[in-house]
Amino acid sequence: MAEVKLTINGKQITAEKGQTILQAAKANNIYIPTLCHFEGIEGRANCRICVVEVEGMRTFQPACVTKVSEGMAVNTETERVRAARKATLELIMAHHAVDCHHCMRIGSSSEQSLDPKFCEMCFWCDCERDGFCELQTLNREYHVDVLPYIQHEHDYETDDSLDSVIRNPNKCIKCRRCVDVCGEVQTVHNLSMANRGRDIMVVPEMGKPMAESACVRCGHCVDVCPVGAIYMKEHKDEVIYMAHSYEDDVVAQLSDDVLPELDKLYKLEPGTIRIGQVVSALHKIGIKNVVSDEHAAFLAAQQAAEVIDKKLGKEPVIITDSSAVMNFVDRYFPEMKGQISKYDSKQDVFGKLAEEFKGEKRLKTVNVTNVKEAGAEAKETGNVDYAINARELYRIFMRTGGAPARKNVCAFDKSWNDGSLPYAQLLKSKAWNLESDPEELAVLVDGKPVKCAVAHNLGQVRKLLEGDYKKYDIVRLMA
Amino acid sequence: MKEVRITLRNAGKINPESIEDYIKAGGYEALKKAKTIDRKALIDDIEGASKLRGRGGAGFKTGLKWSGAYGVDSDVKYVVCNADEGEPGTFKDRTIIENDPHTLIEGMLICAYCIQAKECFIYVRGEYTHCIELLRKAAADAEDKGFTDGVKVNVVGGAGSYVCGEETTLLTSLEGYRGEPRLKPPFPTVAGYLGKPTVVNNVETFATVPVIVDKGSDWFGSIGAPEYPGTKLFSLSGDVKNKGVVELPTDATLRDLVEGFGGGVREGHKIKAIQMGGGSCGFITEKELDTPLDFESMRAIGASLGSGAVLVLDETHNMAEFVKGTSHFFAHESCGKCSPCREGTSRLEEAVEDILNGGDLNKNVALINKLNDVMSMSCFCPLGQGACTPVVSALKLFPEDFKAKKEA
Ligand SMILES: Cc1cc2nc3c(=O)[nH]c(=O)nc-3n(C[C@H](O)[C@H](O)[C@H](O)COP(=O)(O)O)c2cc1C
Ligand code: SF4
Ligand code: SF4
Ligand code: FES
């Protein structure tokens, strides 16, 4: 890879040709604020927060998309760029349905009066992103306070037609991460931009409500939205309530996929929070029975293995445990439906086996997982009462003082003696990614290698179902 | 100073619907001649000797643009004519098309020959339905007569927004997407329409090419200002006696245009301001009337030649009122892609409006300057970058117009 020499803030650095200023800066521990940029999605340079001064250029350049070049001199923190960033933030804020900035509880809308720690615990204003909103973070960093404009908000209706993925267009900052994830990565092409100028907005297919749109309920738009404009319906109150209710027996299944996000939200080093501490914190808020998701994973994998053993060598084996994948197939590949074997998700399995915990009282089930489609799945299939993702878990802990990092490590309340996961390499839990090609792997069946592919997003699912599946013996689809 | 008709040489003399008329006037001879010349030599000649520069607003060297597209190795290349003409006060491209559509097509075919493109597009402002019809007929006739020689000339109606005139937006719109600018680099000459090398030029630029090929680059290069030679079409409007399109050599002065051809303002009135270059440009006053009408001279006085729009305002205008109109235009035309323009354009309009309604002048002026600082530096495309220019310019030149309102 060819090298390029440049200076950032006077510091001589070497970067790879083709890198953006942002990437080069990051590699050298130089911080440049961003808002619309999302690592892995091609930059659109819409927000203009990452602007920097490049010597010799008439205008500021967006660091997220501007490529480094030999001899370039970049300044990221001059008074002028900082002022421009702040002015842009003010413009965005003046058109943002802000819940968090004008605190009714402490009676101030002055940034200096707001203590982030206090805010995160308070939830009075209760924006779903309060505390980890990227816009709020920038506002604090740039002391965006009393705005020089009259607040103008749109008065769009919140679209809660799905009762899981919820859209509040009044908070949207038009970064288009959701549009790109939905279109470019997931290839669902449900979300797109409508109108222009100040009225530009994100709309589902043909402006329909989400429930009637092409949305497959994968939940990834929720994940990338930097603000509270798309969020997963929360059930904090319900969960806390039933955990303390004398009428309910609550069982929670806890997956360790929430740990990385929890560390991030608590601003801890990756790997700090241990699963046993989360068990402990869940006990603390009143959930007495907490089980690991490993048993459900094992039972689900057994189902998948049965399908594989039956079909392998006779017909293409296409398996999935995802209801979002099935929705996607319904919409785009209805002719393939008969060839796809749906096995239970961990959430499905948990819903069924939780019966074991049923006593005198009403049984309530909570699946704690960072699988993005879990919330919509719970809503639509009713397999568990509630699905709680890492962000909501964090918000519950903040509200109840259940900080896991300060808890003792506690064992799960029930364990099973399962053997090892069948086809572990293929069937173990895997994360969503933004890549365009599916993962390829070979598993040994009776000592012979069998070609497998795993789709880690719906774009990869599309690729496989369009014909590439024929190249493999086993295909696993995730949304 | 006399009008010199080079680009408009056939205007009024031929029937624009008749290809025979155009041929009788020497039409399509330049194309034949061009095809006898080596491609690269022809491009170099246009660049070096004729020094032809884009007439759409940015004044980029046409030959350099063509050699960019020529130099990229690609089987598929495109030639696109920007006939979106959305700049307020500009109507010269329409005059060219309505009088002589074939000269535009011939210019594009010469370009297609030079860069080896097989397909051309003319992106015409949607409201110009008559132009679209004329061009469709002209393209069909040129094909019938065999002039297109396998090159397809498509005429496309525009999406009806100002920013679609910006070249990358135009290409995005042509591809069927939302009219929004895209990142440069890559420039259109490298990755334009459908990602292929594409030359985008203004109507006037293409329409001037046949004469240059016909009469020679040296001849063209000797007319007008040395660094911006030839003639330029001006769209003269506002409070002058004679409005219309005038073609002048580029060493003519603004006075030649406004007083000579425009006949000055009405009796008993005087010129207050001239908005030179289009709606996103600042104002100049009578003092600058002797400035030559070329790119560099205009730049030297802090004005711009732009598309050649010249809007003359007499003293009956209140400039605060006037720039309220321009800021409304930008708020309406912002595509909404980038935050400073999406939000800033309407805040600018609000601030001007507030001044007109008797709001706090100092506060609003400070706000306008703040908006100008961020928008001119941070916006994605020139639309947002220039949106504050008329307001800032009016505030500087005519502060009394803003104050008067407050007291009234
Ligand atoms: C907001 C905006 C609007 C523009 N509108 C037009 C237009 O209507 N017609 C035009 O020829 N160029 C327009 N331009 C300039 C084009 O981007 C481009 O520079 C031009 O088409 C190149 O042709 P030329 O080199 O022949 O001038 C516009 C630019 C901007 C930023
Ligand atoms: S909904 Fe969220 S992710 Fe989508 S454009 Fe708006 S702010 Fe960005
Ligand atoms: S400056 Fe930004 S919002 Fe305005 S027209 Fe250009 S890209 Fe669109
Ligand atoms: S982060 Fe670069 S423009 Fe938004």
Label residue A120 by pLDDT band (50, 70, 90).
low
Asked whether the beta carbons of residue A92 and residue B346 sit closer than 8 angstroms, the reply is: no
pLDDT over 90 (residue A122):
no
Closest CA of chain B from A443, distance in Å? 41
pLDDT over 90 (residue A156):
yes
Q: Beta partners for A53?
A: A75
Q: What is the CATH number of the domain that holds B232?
A: 3.10.20.600
Label residue A441 by pLDDT band (50, 70, 90).
very high
Closest CA of chain A from B272, distance in Å? 31
Label residue B407 by pLDDT band (50, 70, 90).
low
**Residue B113 belongs to a domain:** yes
**Residue A108 belongs to a domain:** no
Query: Do A208 and A316 share a domain, yes or no?
Result: no
Give the residue numbers spanning the domain of A280.
238-295+347-406
**Mean per-residue pLDDT over chain B, rounded:** 96
pLDDT over 70 (residue A124):
no
Query: Do B278 and B255 share a domain, yes or no?
Result: yes
pLDDT over 60 (residue B408):
no
Higher-pLDDT residue of B63 and A360 is B63
Query: Do A126 and A198 share a domain, yes or no?
Result: yes
Distance between Cα A73 and ligand 1 center (Å): 30
Query: Do A175 and A37 share a domain, yes or no?
Result: no
Query: Do B239 and B209 share a domain, yes or no?
Result: no
Cβ atoms B339, A88 nearer than 8 A: yes
Return d(Cα A61, Cα A48) in angstroms, integer. Answer: 8
**Residue A26 belongs to a domain:** yes
Query: Do A244 and A223 share a domain, yes or no?
Result: no
**Residue B12 belongs to a domain:** no
Residue nearest to atom 8 of ligand 3 (CA): B335
Percent of chain A with pLDDT over 70: 95
Q: Give me the pLDDT at residue A399, please.
A: 83
Residue nearest to atom 2 of ligand 2 (CA): A225
- Within 8 A of B350 by CB-CB distance, chain A residues are 149-150
pLDDT over 80 (residue A119):
no
Return d(Cα A191, Cα A176) in angstroms, integer. Answer: 9
Q: Beta partners for A290?
A: A252
Can you tell me whether residue A370 is helix, strand or coil?
Answer: coil
Residue nearest to atom 6 of ligand 2 (CA): A172
B168 alpha carbon, closest ligand: 1
- What is the best residue among A46, A174, A199, A232 to mutate for testing ligand 2's pocket, by most ligand atoms within 8 Å of CB? A174
Asked whether the beta carbons of residue A148 and residue B370 sit closer than 8 angstroms, the reply is: yes
A202 alpha carbon, closest ligand: 2
- What is the best residue among A195, A227, A372 to mutate for testing ligand 2's pocket, by most ligand atoms within 8 Å of CB? A227
pLDDT over 70 (residue A136):
yes
**Residue B307 belongs to a domain:** yes
Query: Do B33 and B140 share a domain, yes or no?
Result: yes
Return d(Cα A347, Cα A321) in angstroms, integer. Answer: 10
pLDDT over 70 (residue B94):
yes
Q: Among the listed ranges A222-231, A234-243, A342-351, which one has the minimum average pLDDT value?
A: A234-243
- Within 8 A of B187 by CB-CB distance, chain A residues are none
Q: Give me the pLDDT at residue A358, please.
A: 84
pLDDT over 80 (residue B305):
yes
Q: What is the CATH number of the domain that holds A47?
A: 3.10.20.740
Q: What is the CATH number of the domain that holds B29?
A: 3.40.50.11540
Label residue A220 by pLDDT band (50, 70, 90).
very high
**Residue B11 belongs to a domain:** no
Return d(Cα A6, Cα A8) in angstroms, integer. Answer: 7
pLDDT tens, residue by residue, A232-249: 999 999 999 999 898 999
Q: What is the mean pLDDT of the segment spanning B11-34?
A: 98
Q: Give me the pLDDT at residue B99, please.
A: 98
Q: Give me the pLDDT at residue B261, please.
A: 96
β-pairing, B228-229 with B224-225? Answer: antiparallel
Asked if ipTM goes beyond 0.85, one says yes
Question: Which tokens is A470 given?
Answer: 């024929």
Number of domains in chain A: 4
Question: Which tokens is A89 given?
Answer: 């933030």
Domain boundary among B198, B222, B246: B222
Q: Give me the pLDDT at residue A239, please.
A: 93
Query: Do A387 and A426 share a domain, yes or no?
Result: no
Return d(Cα A256, Cα A275) in angstroms, integer. Answer: 6
- Residue B379 Cβ < 6 Å to ligand 3: yes
pLDDT over 60 (residue A84):
yes
**Residue A86 belongs to a domain:** no
Query: Do B254 and B307 share a domain, yes or no?
Result: yes
Question: Which tokens is A55 given?
Answer: 């010597």
Closest CA of chain B from A195, distance in Å? 8
DSSP for A213-280, please give it: SS-----HHHHH-SSTTEEEPP-HHHHHHHHT-TTEEEEEEE-GGGHHHHHHHTT--TT-S-HHHHHH
**Residue B1 belongs to a domain:** no
- Residue B374 sits at φ, ψ, to 5 deg, of -75, -45
Residues 157-186 of B with CB under 8 A from A: 161, 178-179, 183, 185
- Hey, how many other C-beta atoms are within 10 angstroms of the C-beta on B349? 22
Query: Do B116 and B202 share a domain, yes or no?
Result: yes
How many Cβ pairs closer than 8 A exist between chain A and B?
96
Atom of ligand 4 nearest to the CA of A65: 2
Q: What is the mean pLDDT of the segment spanning A204-231?
A: 97
Query: Do A288 and A433 share a domain, yes or no?
Result: no
pLDDT over 80 (residue B69):
yes
Secondary structure tally for chain B: helices H, strands E: 18, 11
Q: What is the mean pLDDT of the segment spanning B317-333?
A: 97
Atom of ligand 3 nearest to the CA of B381: 6
Q: Give me the pLDDT at residue A108, please.
A: 66
Q: What is the mean pLDDT of the segment spanning B329-350?
A: 98
**Residue A82 belongs to a domain:** no
Q: What is the mean pLDDT of the segment spanning A345-371?
A: 93
Which residue among A49, A95, A195 sits closest to B343, beta carbon to beta carbon? Answer: A95
Report yes or no: B351 at the A interface, CB cutoff 8 Å. no
Q: Give me the pLDDT at residue B392, please.
A: 98
Return d(Cα B55, Cα B85) in angstroms, integer. Answer: 11
Return d(Cα A26, Cα A133) in angstroms, integer. Answer: 21
**Residue A98 belongs to a domain:** no
Return d(Cα A303, Cα A310) in angstroms, integer. Answer: 11
Query: Do A8 and A142 share a domain, yes or no?
Result: no
Q: What is the CATH number of the domain that holds A247?
A: 3.40.50.1780
Q: What is the mean pLDDT of the segment spanning A411-423?
A: 92
Query: Do B254 and B331 share a domain, yes or no?
Result: no
Report yes or no: A31 at the B interface, CB cutoff 8 Å. no
Label residue A21 by pLDDT band (50, 70, 90).
very high
Query: Do A256 and A356 share a domain, yes or no?
Result: yes
| Residues sharing a CB contact under 8 Å with residue B407, sequence separation 6 or more, in sequence order | none
Q: Among the listed ranges A137-141, A208-212, B96-100, which one has the minimum average pLDDT value?
A: A137-141
Q: Give me the pLDDT at residue A364, please.
A: 95
Comparing CA positions, the residue from B189, B279, B199, B293 lying closest to residue B246 is: B293
Closest-CA residue of B relative to A42 is: B183
Domain boundary among A376, A406, A436: A406
Distance between Cα B379 and ligand 3 center (Å): 6
pLDDT tens, residue by residue, B353-405: 999 999 999 999 999 999 999 999 999 999 999 999 999 999 999 999 999 65
Q: What is the mean pLDDT of the segment spanning B51-78?
A: 97
Q: Give me the pLDDT at residue B162, please.
A: 95
Percent of chain A with pLDDT over 90: 83
Can you tell me whether residue A50 is helix, strand or coil?
Answer: coil
Cβ atoms A188, A329 nearer than 8 A: no
Q: What is the mean pLDDT of the segment spanning B251-278?
A: 96
Query: Do A202 and A266 share a domain, yes or no?
Result: no
Handedness of CA B32, B33, B36, B37 (dihedral sign): negative
Report yes or no: B11 at the A interface, CB cutoff 8 Å. no
Report yes or no: A179 at the B interface, CB cutoff 8 Å. no
Label residue A259 by pLDDT band (50, 70, 90).
very high
Report yes or no: A147 at the B interface, CB cutoff 8 Å. no
Asked whether the beta carbons of residue A149 and residue B336 sit closer than 8 angstroms, the reply is: no
Q: What is the mean pLDDT of the segment spanning A434-450?
A: 94
Query: Do A123 and A245 share a domain, yes or no?
Result: no
For the purposes of burial, counting CB atoms within 10 Å of the CB of B254, is it exposed (0-12), middle (13-18) or buried (19 or more)?
Answer: buried
Report yes or no: A48 at the B interface, CB cutoff 8 Å. yes
Distance between Cα A96 and ligand 2 center (Å): 12
Q: What is the CATH number of the domain that holds A317?
A: 3.40.950.10
Query: Do A190 and A121 share a domain, yes or no?
Result: yes
Domain boundary among B197, B222, B247: B222
Comparing CA positions, the residue from B16, B94, B103 lying closest to residue B308 is: B94
Query: Do B236 and B210 share a domain, yes or no?
Result: no
DSSP for A293-320, please give it: SHHHHHHHHHHHHHHHHHHTTTS-EEEE
Q: Give me the pLDDT at residue A446, please.
A: 87
pLDDT tens, residue by residue, B121-178: 999 999 999 999 999 999 999 999 999 999 999 999 998 899 999 999 999 999 999 9
Domain boundary among B200, B222, B244: B222
Return d(Cα B219, Cα A15) in angstroms, integer. Answer: 49
- Residue B329 Cβ < 6 Å to ligand 3: no
Report yes or no: B360 at the A interface, CB cutoff 8 Å. no
Give the residue numbers spanning the domain of B197.
19-222
Distance of CA A391 to the CA centre of its chain: 9
Number of domains in chain B: 3
Distance between Cα A168 and ligand 2 center (Å): 9
**Residue A224 belongs to a domain:** yes
**Residue A106 belongs to a domain:** no
Q: Give me the pLDDT at residue B198, please.
A: 98
Query: Do A351 and A337 share a domain, yes or no?
Result: no
Report yes or no: B376 at the A interface, CB cutoff 8 Å. yes
β-pairing, B78-83 with B198-202? Answer: parallel
